[in-house]
Amino acid sequence: MKVYATVKSLGRRKPQFVKKEIILASVPYTLREFLTALVTINVEKFNETGVDEPIFPYLTSDEIESSSQTGKIGFGVKDNDRKVNVKQAVSTSLIAFQDGLYKVFINEKEQEDLEDEIQLIDGAEIVFIKMTMLAGRMW
């Protein structure tokens, strides 16, 4: 199943990324199952990559332009080889949802409970809205 996700933040007008394609191995029936599958996919992808050691770290003009659209310009280098624990990452994600740190909308309908049944169809659009803003010193 193929779905499309967008991440937005309260403090920004533009989304962090626009319609990122996500391929799910099976159809989730609850929000908990969907978030678990999504976190698992991302952790496995992260864990598969090794430590990057570029010989000459630099960014091309195209890479800078592309990165500026997401709001972060960096080398995209992974500094250490520690693996992320899938169960801990899933738990953290579910707790963050329950604590209201982010909202999930599937085809413009807010998902309010992890155990609610969801109707996820091929090509569905999912929007994640981060409810926290950066904290820091005012002066």
* Predicted confidence (pLDDT) per residue in 71-85, tens digit: 666 655 555 667 889
Separation of alpha carbons 39 and 10, rounded Å: 22
Tell whether pTM > 0.75: no
Mean pLDDT of the chain: 80
Give the pairing of strands 102-106 and 109-111.
antiparallel
Domain ranges of the chain: 2-130
* pLDDT (0 to 100) of residue 7: 85
Residue 105 in contact with residue 126, Cβ under 8 Å? yes
Tokens of 115: 């155990």
Residues of the chain with pLDDT under 50: 53-56, 138-139
Sign of the torsion formed by the C-alpha atoms of 71, 74, 35 and 91 = negative
* pLDDT (0 to 100) of residue 75: 57
DSSP sequence for 17-83? EEEEEEE-SS---BHHHHHHHHHHHHHHHHHHS-----SS----HHHHHHHHHHT----------PP
* pLDDT (0 to 100) of residue 138: 47
